Amino acid sequence: MKFDLHCHTKEGSFDSKVPISEYVSKYKILGYDGLMITDHNSYRGCRAWHRIQHLPQYEGFTVICGIEYDTKDAGHMLVIMPDGVYLPLLKIRGMRCAKLVNVVHSHGGILGLAHPFGIASSSGMKFRLMNYDLIHNMDFVEVFNTCESEDSNRLSAELAAKYGLPGFAGTDAHSGKYIGMAATEIDREIRCNNDLIAAVLEGSELHPAGVERPETRKSKAKDHWSSQMGYKIYNRGLAKARMVHRKVVHRKLMKNNCAIQ
């Protein structure tokens, strides 16, 4: 089965222009079997899909409901929880990576590095912590990202090979023009989150591939030190502003020892 495992929807990401209905319609035409929603710290795109998934034109197409989580100390992580598990904690950016690993694994989910060698402000292997402590706790690595450079993707693939981790490929699309530029072929039937989690944990073969997008003025600007510093201030500022709320939600989650629906 053929999937794009990194998509940002208009419903769940303020900087995406593509509604989930457009993603599904275009990917069906292109012969894909599914995609994964990975909005930043949000399940709004997933809720939008649930509202339309029973329409006949979407029959047979699989949508995995994931999240791209913004950690405090290790960049962006792709997170996939079991079917029906939507943790409010994952909607509050700024958890430390070690805590995120514990929360995700204790509730039956999996997680992996998104664009590990991308820009320093959001890519795991640009953080010292990931180099030494937490890579062994990852379940997969995004080895191809359409928005990254050839060198970045090569290093990501080498990282996955070094640690024996499955590789994902995704477009990281926020615009319709990147739809179809990456795919992960999976030697297993995937019809839901649980199927993908099982495929990763049980060692099913994953075949990631794609084409990098041409360099743009916007992509060049993202690598500039001023843009990276601005993002760090933005990300850490929001994380700090919601710190108390995040701690309260985390304590409640640990006390209940179950997923809050």
> Is 80 exceeded by the pLDDT of residue 12?
yes
Mean pLDDT, rounded, for 102-121? 95
> Is 50 exceeded by the pLDDT of residue 261?
no
> Over the stretch 240-255, which tens digit does the pLDDT of each residue have?
666 666 666 666 666 6
Nearest to 170 by CA among 110, 230, 213: 213
**170/131 Cα distance (integer angstroms):** 23
> Is 90 exceeded by the pLDDT of residue 171?
yes
Name which residue leads in pLDDT, 133 or 23: 23
Angle between helices 243-256 and 225-241 (to 10 degrees): 60
Lowest mean pLDDT among 76-90, 206-220, 229-243: 229-243
> Is 60 exceeded by the pLDDT of residue 221?
no
Residue 121 confidence (pLDDT): 82
- Lookup: tokens for 123: 């890519």
- Prediction pTM value: 0.86
Residue 159 confidence (pLDDT): 95
Q: What percent of the chain has pLDDT over 90?
A: 74
Q: DSSP string covering the chain, please?
A: -EEEEEE--TTT-TT----HHHHHHHHHHTT--EEEE--BT--HHHHHHHHHTTSGGGTT-EEEEEEEEE-SSS-EEEEEPPTT---GGGGS----HHHHHHHHHHTT-EEEESSTTS-TTT-GGGSHHIIIIIGGG-SEEEEEETTS-HHHHHHHHHHHHHHT--EEEE--BSSGGGTTSEEEEESS---SHHHHHHHHHTT--EEEEE-PPPP-HHHHHHTSHHHHHHHHHHHHHHHHHTHHHHHHHHHHHHHHTS---
Residue 82 confidence (pLDDT): 98
Instruction: For domain 2-256, give its CATH number from 3.20.20.140, 3.40.50.720, 2.60.120.260, 3.40.50.300.
Output: 3.20.20.140
- The CA-atom distances, in angstroms, between 151 and each of 147, 156, 243, 254 are 12, 9, 36, 40
* Beta-bridge mates of residue 111: 79
Residue 259 confidence (pLDDT): 43
Q: How far is CA 250 from the centre of its chain?
A: 21
Output the CA torsion 46→50→51→53 (10° steps).
120
User: φ and ψ at 77, to 5 degrees?
Assistant: -125, 135
Amino acid in position 132: Y
> Over the stretch 27-46, which tens digit does the pLDDT of each residue have?
999 999 999 999 999 999 99
